[in-house]
Amino acid sequence: MKFLDQAKIYLRAGDGGAGCVSFRREKFIEFGGPDGGNGGRGGDVIVECVDGLNTLIDYRYQQHFKAGKGTHGMGKNRTGADGKDSILRVPVGTQILEDDRETLIADMTEVGQRVVLLKGGNGGFGNAYFKTSANQAPRHANPGQEGAEKWVWLRLKLIADAGLVGQPNAGKSTFLAAVSAAKPKIADYPFTTLHPNLGVVSIGGNDFVLADIPGLIEGASEGIGIGDRFLGHIERCEVLIHLIDGTQDDVANAYRVIRSELGLYKEELAEKAEIVVLNKVDAIAPEELKEKVRALRKASKQEVHEVSGVTGKGVDDVLYAVVRTLDEARAEKAEAERRKIEGSWKP
């Protein structure tokens, strides 16, 4: 299945049905009076979060979604049927944005979540509705209201606990394949990964979801290379695993380039918890490795994990560090929620 994480679609709610002008006409019943029914209500446009989807590819081949129109009212006080709702099924993590691509309408983060994007038009009143003691034979009815319409953007941000970032060929796909059952494409040329990949990691009785996004290069925020369009997929991550290719000459500069691109994309992304990993250490001489670890530690001002995704050296240490960071983040969220509840409670 092809991966698609952005789509622009047109939505239109259903028009309401028109009210009916009718009079009761039966044998032996004189002056039967008005009996025109109301029109049916137009259908709504609803977005629903469902399980089993991980792409927006369905919205590449159909961009227009219209709810059903309400049926017109009829005589004998018969109300028209309501229009059929149009239901859009999206994967977990989908955001619905206005046409300006900035204003957030809804964030679909839980399976079963439903949001009404557009409400259908009300049905018009039939002439029976307008009957009064002063006007016992009204000869007019209301037309149905038109349904609302708009263009919106769908943007998918994968739900993952941890994210892999780094330059092309830093070994992110190899690392993901080594720690999970995911099978990303692995090759010895840049930009092997063209779309995000997810894998479930199990370590020490703990499970977490790890996301691998295409590599970043200097100027990605300006559209160079694949650009930074996939960085949205790690915005929900609690921790970033920053992989640096240990076989390159200047590992400190490689670290600073990625950190700069993260900050240019969004400050919140650069402020996330980070685990620095020097990868491919099996291909580096011991003395050279010491120098590169020292340079990377100075640039990042934190502990540097020495890892080989091919041999598995140091991989478990990185995974346990991720688990510890996730546990701390969850504990902080639980504490913040507890304080929020206590602050809102008044004796």
161 is in an annotated binding site: no
Q: Would you say 300 is a known binding-site residue?
A: no
Is 309 annotated in some ligand binding site?
A: yes
207 is known to lie in a ligand binding site: no
- Tell me which residue of 44, 55, 54, 52 sits closest to 7, measured CA to CA: 55
Quote the tokens at residue 345.
Answer: 């409670």
76 is in an annotated binding site: no
192 annotated as belonging to a binding site for a ligand: yes
200 in a known ligand binding site: no
193 annotated ligand-binding residue:
yes
Name residue, tokens 């944005």.
Answer: 97
Would the annotation count 280 as a binding residue?
A: yes
Give the dihedral sign, CA 52/56/57/62.
positive
310 annotated as ligand-binding: yes
- 171 sits in the region (left: phi over 0; alpha: psi -120 to 50; else beta) called left
Task: Give phi and psi for 153, each to the nearest 5.
Answer: -110, 135
Asked whether residue 316 is marked as a ligand-binding residue, the answer is no
- For residues 206 and 123, what is the distance between their CA atoms, to the nearest angstrom? 54
Tokens representing 111 are 């399976």
Work out whether the CA dihedral 273, 267, 199, 312 comes out positive or negative: negative
Residue 121, annotated ligand binder? no
According to DSSP, residue 195 is labeled S
Residues 164, 168, 170, 174: is their CA dihedral positive or negative? positive
Side-chain half-sphere CA neighbours of 121 within 13 A: 26
232 is in an annotated binding site: no
Annotated binding site: 173, 191-195, 212-215, 279-282, 308-310
Binding residues for Mg(2+), as ranges, are: 173, 193
Binding residue numbers for GTP: 191-195, 212-215, 279-282, 308-310
